[in-house]
Amino acid sequence: MTQAPTIAEEQRLIAEDFELFDDWREKIEYVLDLGRKLPAFPEQHRIDANKVKGCQSQVWMVAELDQADDRIRIVADSDAFIVRGLIALLLRLYANRHPQEILDNPPAVFQ
């Protein structure tokens, strides 16, 4: 059985994916395509308690610890197409991970 890539490895793979595109339009189309492939978000989760505060578009996110295997299950959605693609990238990095792995690999801060 093949082990899933670590968060750092997944970050590298995402960067490699983006290097395949020659211009920003292709990169945007790729992100939009990722958003189109995002799994359906359960309607019962589209409530204010699950909204991500501070987002200009509407974003809903639910994260729960699966006690059976100690992994964080995350589902999310947005009403904005580009944000849906960004959510897909976020889920690629952090969904179905052990909590400590997530804590050990916070998102990079760009200045």
Which positions are catalytic? 55
Task: Tell me which residue has tokens 């969904």.
Answer: 95
Stated length of the chain? 111
Pairwise CA distance, residues 33 & 27, whole Å: 10
Distance, CA of 5 to CA of 77 (rounded, Å): 24
